[in-house]
Amino acid sequence: MIDIGQNDLADSFAKNLSYTEVVKMIPSFVTEIRNAIQVIYSQGGRKFWVHNTGPLGCLPQKLTLVQKVSSDLDPHGCLANFNSAAKLFNEGLRHLSQELRSEMKDATIVYVDIYAIKYDLIANSSSYGFSNPLMACCGYGGPPYNYRKGVTCGQHDYQVCSEGSEFISWDGVHYTEAANRVIASKILSMDYSTPRIGFDFFCH
């Protein structure tokens, strides 16, 4: 299983690179993934479950640390340029998966659209029972994001929400168990997989 992209993009933005500069780096990220898959293939790997990256611009950490104005946000309050970069990365990863299926005829490469799953969770949070889609359960500072650098989850003075099942974000970066339960069920449904091959296939 390859679940990739978030750290590559997040680390690039953290270096204060512009959107254009980050986007220019995406082809090199995709090339590294190609090289990694080819190495695994050369060592006998034949079943690949490739997860794209989620909506980076919806993470409470990013929303807190990035200086922004309202025009930088999409209709659901996420950083539009961060999510745009994630979608461009995902498009490159999708094309790579298609190319590798043609090159590696005896391998199975399933591409899973994690972005669509996670963004739907945020955009339609209330229908899933979540009330604070952009706020961390474990952190400091309260609304709107409950995230403060230096007082993150697990550090001195951090606070934990009383109802973690109502939150999507656990610590501003990672998802709660409740959110991951929904995400896992959608992954296993095969509705977001190309081609639509069940997870059981990878267990044999």
- Host domain of residue 48: 2-203
Q: How many independent structural domains does the chain possess?
A: 1
pLDDT of residue 11: 93
Average pLDDT over residues 185-190: 95
Q: Are 145 and 63 in contact (CB under 8 A)?
A: yes
Assess whether pLDDT exceeds 80 at residue 204: no
Q: What is the mean pLDDT of the chain?
A: 94
CA 78 to CA 62: how far, in whole Å? 9
Q: Are 134 and 145 in contact (CB under 8 A)?
A: yes
Rounded to two decimals, the pTM is 0.94
Chain segment 126-177, per-residue pLDDT in tens: 999 999 899 999 999 999 999 999 899 988 889 999 887 899 999 999 999 9
CA 167 to CA 95: how far, in whole Å? 33
- Strands 2-3, 47-51: pairing kind: parallel
Chain segment 26-65, per-residue pLDDT in tens: 999 999 999 999 999 999 999 999 999 999 999 999 999 9
CA 98 to CA 109: how far, in whole Å? 8
pLDDT of residue 200: 84
pLDDT of residue 144: 95
CA 48 to CA 51: how far, in whole Å? 10
Whole-number Cα distances in Å, 75 to 72, 79, 122, 127: 10, 10, 11, 17
Residue 82 buriedness (CB in 10 A; 0-12 / 13-18 / 19+):
buried
CA 16 to CA 137: how far, in whole Å? 27
